[in-house]
């Protein structure tokens, strides 16, 4: 029987997930020299990298994947990183410090940003809980059943390979899929002892909170003000097009890749500022973690982060190695040991060709290491793209003005714009000069927004389909990617609004007459702005985002669609789990009626383990059309024998409202080769008696 779905089961699962994200990546990051916000931000990505590497490499070594093997690999990796760092430091080849943020923060600033991240995490959890409403905890969208079955498969079998979990539907050989999401989920499932639906919900609840942490850490790494970092966290926690739209579509690993993408900038900037074994290792692991989370995440991270490199090279070409006012001022950016602290790691007097050439040459070994450790994923992806699995382009054709309006108003699924984010985005655009070291965001926003517009408006063109293939030619995915720099620009606008308010308040006579108020004006205006934002947006757009996330549970707007995985079908699958069906038997089921969840919920193997019929096993396809002809068709009886089928489960309704139950599973009552062993209003279980 499945574990109960009560408060304590969710609490245990969420707490376990936080620990799984914090401990492995935190230990490895600390050993590699990460500290402060860089460590806090990169720890989840490094944890996904460790799990994502452990699964396929342990499978190659025929070692079961689980909490003990991952713990051993984490300790081994941390020891190697720590030893290498100590070795190069002792030999004078490493001088830590140049890779750190240039602008110091006060203790109060750190606490304030941490509070903003905490608010964003709380908002994210409340949004998912509210979006779930009174429905079952089982996700209803297309790929979620594949993710649910994959997590249980890894936890039960210890097979963390890149094709193993696919055998639930594509047997016997499986199908390639980057599985860091499922490997981490398997650890949460194993350690928390909860059900698969609770595990999936627990992983989903803080998704926008992870986005907020990544954004705040990015701003901190690049020397931004604390108000900017806190604003970035709050905007990330409230923007519908960030994490919530991807979650609502059931694109769970993709949503994970999106919220981890900003962290690539942290790893890249640290390496560029001070190339070394430690910063290079963090960059290689970060790239691997993104690739393991989702194949498109690494491509998206490159597009998002490359403008940072372009800005660095542009500075070198212009000879502007020491920056100007504000965030590039010589004061905060200087350190001892040279003529001044090196902006982005470029010493005074270095020729531009040395900067560009040096960056390229130093990146080669990092890419080589990342390529070697991620070889199973790279080879698997190459094999998958050249295989027989069909690629279906979406082919969107909307007006250009509509696509631009979606970008500017942070909405795509729901009709209501997030108007206050639009206001702050406008302020951010008007104050671009104040971005200083983060002006590269403008280029990133323009590039990713242009990619979204091209796919949304000209998605049927062959060249657009080829260009956007890593994102399946899907405008929804590209909107999520474009939202990253757009959210940062809106956060910059929010930060500059606070700066203007503080300046206006400081100029008041009654403030100047009270010196004890002077140092508190900045904090007071920041708190006032956050409170006003929370009130004006209804709790940082909680209601709108909850309505968006509710699509994950309803497969449509609330009240309009009956969930394809109904309560009756869940009860029938629970009963199926009590029949003692061994693992070498499969239960015949319809592909679209929700019963593909039976393995995730009960551990019983279905014939159809995913809604997707692409390159499905021939026996599964044949039985779906002809099983009712069991008495007269020897091919049906042979397929039943090959798959070792003794039970049949038929539900009601399908995930495609215009598609009925498969013809071979219709009208089974009355056949003498079947006997009913369980029935409720929405599902029936038969036993084959011949």
DSSP-assigned states of every residue in 210-250: HHHHHHHHHHHHTT--HHHHHHHHHHHHH-IIIIIHHHHTT
Hey, where are the domains in the chain? 7-84+105-318+351-453, 567-688
Between these two residues, 8 and 488, which has the higher pLDDT value? 488
Given pLDDT bands bounded at 50, 70 and 90, which one contains residue 327?
Answer: very low
- Is it the case that residue 320 has pLDDT exceeding 70? no
- Give residue 659's pLDDT: 81
pLDDT tens figures, 131-167: 887 656 888 888 899 999 999 999 999 999 999 999 9
- Is it the case that residue 595 has pLDDT exceeding 80? yes
Ranges 46-55, 251-260, 400-409, 458-467: which has the least confidence: 458-467
| Cα gap 294→296, rounded to integer Å | 5
pLDDT tens figures, 242-267: 899 999 888 999 999 999 999 999 99
Sign, CA torsion 274/277/278/283: positive
Ranges 107-121, 145-159, 331-345, 658-672: which has the least confidence: 331-345
- Beta strands 645-650 and 586-589 are parallel
- Give residue 511's pLDDT: 52
Ranges 62-71, 371-380, 407-416: which has the least confidence: 407-416
Given pLDDT bands bounded at 50, 70 and 90, which one contains residue 335?
Answer: very low
At 648 the three-state DSSP class reads: strand
- Average pLDDT of every residue of the chain: 87
- Give residue 341's pLDDT: 40
Instruction: List the end-to-end C-alpha distance of the chain, in Å, as a whole number.
Output: 29
Tokens at 297, concatenated: 């995440």
- Give residue 1's pLDDT: 43
Is there a contact between 243 and 487 (Cβ–Cβ < 8 Å)?
A: no
Stretch 545-554: mean pLDDT, rounded?
88
- Is it the case that residue 330 has pLDDT exceeding 60? no
List beta partners, residue 299.
Answer: none
| Cα gap 647→74, rounded to integer Å | 43
- Give residue 92's pLDDT: 67
| Phi/psi of residue 679, nearest 5 degrees | -150, 140
pLDDT tens figures, 176-225: 899 999 999 999 999 998 999 999 999 999 999 999 999 999 999 998 99
Stretch 337-348: mean pLDDT, rounded?
51
Sign, CA torsion 6/7/10/12: negative
Percent of the chain at pLDDT above 90? 61
- Give residue 513's pLDDT: 54
| Phi/psi of residue 589, nearest 5 degrees | -150, 165
| Cα gap 367→49, rounded to integer Å | 15
Residue whose C-alpha is closest to residue 178's, from 330, 276, 291: 291
Given pLDDT bands bounded at 50, 70 and 90, which one contains residue 322?
Answer: very low
Stretch 41-63: mean pLDDT, rounded?
96
Distances (CA, A) of 159 to 58, 65, 167, 182: 8, 6, 11, 11
């Amino acid at each position: 029987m499945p574990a109960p779905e009560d408060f304590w089961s969710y609490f245990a699962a969420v707490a376990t997930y936080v620990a799984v994200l914090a401990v492995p990546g935190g230990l490895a990051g600390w050993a590699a020299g990460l500290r402060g916000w860089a460590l806090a931000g990169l720890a989840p990505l490094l944890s996904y990298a460790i799990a994502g590497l452990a699964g396929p490499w342990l499978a190659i070594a025929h070692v079961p994947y689980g909490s003990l093997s991952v713990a051993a690999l984490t300790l081994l990796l941390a020891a190697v990183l720590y030893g290498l760092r100590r070795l190069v430091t002792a030999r004078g080849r490493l001088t830590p410090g140049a890779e750190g943020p240039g602008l110091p923060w006060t203790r109060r600033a750190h606490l304030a940003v941490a509070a903003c991240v905490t608010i964003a995490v709380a908002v994210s959890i409340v949004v998912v809980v509210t979006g779930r409403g009174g429905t079952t905890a089982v996700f209803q969208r297309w790929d979620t059943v594949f993710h649910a079955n994959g997590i249980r498969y890894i936890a039960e079998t210890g097979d963390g390979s890149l094709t193993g979990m696919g055998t639930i539907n594509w047997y016997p050989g499986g199908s390639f899929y980057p599985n860091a999401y499922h490997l981490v989920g398997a650890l949460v499932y194993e350690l928390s002892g909860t059900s698969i639906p609770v595990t999936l919900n627990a992983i989903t609840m803080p998704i926008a909170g992870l986005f907020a942490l990544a954004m705040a850490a990015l701003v901190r790494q690049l020397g931004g003000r604390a108000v900017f970092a806190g604003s970035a966290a709050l905007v990330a926690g409230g923007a519908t097009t960030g994490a919530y739209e991807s979650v609502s579509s059931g694109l769970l690993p993709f949503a994970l890749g999106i919220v981890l993408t900003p962290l690539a900038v942290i790893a890249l900037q640290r390496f560029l500022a001070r190339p070394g074994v430690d910063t290079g290792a963090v960059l290689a692991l970060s790239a691997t973690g993104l690739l393991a989370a989702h194949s498109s995440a690494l491509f998206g991270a490159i597009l998002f982060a490359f403008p940072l490199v372009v800005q660095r090279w542009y500075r070198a070409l212009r000879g502007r190695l020491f920056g100007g006012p504000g965030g590039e001022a010589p004061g905060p950016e200087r350190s001892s040991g040279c003529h001044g602290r090196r902006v982005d790691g470029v010493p005074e007097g270095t020729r531009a060709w040395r900067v560009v050439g040096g960056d390229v040459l130093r990146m080669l070994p990092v890419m080589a290491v990342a390529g070697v450790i991620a070889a199973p994923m790279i080879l698997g992806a190459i094999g998958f793209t050249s295989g027989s699995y069909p690629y279906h382009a979406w082919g969107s054709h909307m007006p250009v003005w509509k696509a631009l309006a979606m970008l500017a108003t942070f909405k795509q699924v729901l009709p209501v714009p997030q108007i206050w984010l639009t206001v702050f985005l406008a302020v951010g655009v008007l104050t671009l000069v104040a971005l200083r070291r983060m002006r590269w965001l403008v280029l990133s926003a323009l590039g990713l927004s242009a990619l979204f517009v091209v796919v949304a408006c000209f998605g049927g063109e062959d060249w657009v389909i080829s260009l956007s293939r890593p994102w399946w030619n899907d405008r929804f995915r590209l909107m999520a990617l474009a939202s990253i720099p757009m959210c940062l620009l809106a956060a910059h606008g929010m930060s500059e609004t606070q700066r203007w308010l503080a300046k206006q308040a400081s100029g008041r006579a009654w403030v100047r007459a009270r010196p004890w108020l002077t140092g508190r004006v900045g904090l007071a205006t920041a708190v006032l702005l956050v409170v006003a934002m929370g009130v004006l947006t209804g709790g940082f757009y909680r209601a709108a985002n909850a309505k968006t996330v509710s699509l994950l549970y309803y497969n449509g707007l609330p009240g309009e669609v009956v969930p394809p995985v109904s309560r009756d079908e869940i009860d029938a699958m629970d009963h199926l789990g009590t029949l003692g069906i061994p693992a070498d038997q499969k239960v015949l089921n319809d592909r679209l009626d929700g019963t593909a969840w039976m393995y995730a919920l009960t551990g019983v193997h279905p014939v159809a383990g995913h809604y997707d019929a692409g390159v499905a096993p021939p026996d599964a396809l044949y039985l779906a059309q002809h099983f009712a002809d069991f008495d007269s068709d020897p091919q049906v009886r042979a397929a039943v024998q090959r798959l070792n089928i003794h039970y049949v489960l038929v539900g009601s309704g399908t995930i495609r409202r215009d598609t009925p139950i498969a013809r071979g599973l219709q009208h089974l009552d009355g056949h003498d080769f079947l006997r009913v062993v369980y029935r409720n209003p929405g599902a029936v279980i038969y036993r084959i008696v011949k």
